[in-house]
């Protein structure tokens, strides 16, 4: 039996565990590491179908917010 794990899933688990930590215990190095992991996660997930769905959903929400703020 061969067990494989997707790199995006592994990074999502790491991000979840890093964000569950108490914010008072973080150093600048730890914060930078978290930002780097999130950036790599975003780059990995962006070209996938799931990434395109996220981009579409965020763009719809931002357009809705901008339409609400400009309407009288």
Looking at the domain assignment, is residue 1 inside a domain? no
Looking at the domain assignment, is residue 42 inside a domain? yes
Give the SS3 label for residue 28.
helix
Looking at the domain assignment, is residue 36 inside a domain? yes
Tokens 């357009």 belong to: 63
pLDDT tens for each residue of 17-54? 877 776 666 677 877 877 888 888 777 777 778 777 87
How far apart (Å, rounded) are the C-alpha atoms in residues 7 and 5?
Answer: 6
Q: Which two tokens stand for residue 54?
A: 């996220």
Q: Which domain holds residue 35?
A: 7-70
Largest CA distance in the chain: 62
Looking at the domain assignment, is residue 19 inside a domain? yes
Looking at the domain assignment, is residue 12 inside a domain? yes
Number of domains in the chain: 1
Which ranges in the chain belong to alpha helices (H)? 7-20, 28-45, 49-70
Looking at the domain assignment, is residue 26 inside a domain? yes
Looking at the domain assignment, is residue 2 inside a domain? no
pLDDT tens for each residue of 6-17? 777 788 888 888
């Amino acid at each position: 039996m061969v067990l494989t794990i997707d790199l995006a899933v592994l990074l999502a688990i790491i991000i979840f565990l890093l964000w569950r930590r108490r914010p008072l215990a973080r150093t600048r190095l730890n914060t930078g590491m978290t930002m780097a992991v999130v950036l790599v996660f975003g780059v990995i997930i962006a070209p996938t179908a799931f990434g395109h769905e996220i981009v579409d959903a965020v763009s719809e929400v931002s357009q809705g917010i901008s339409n609400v703020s400009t309407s009288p």
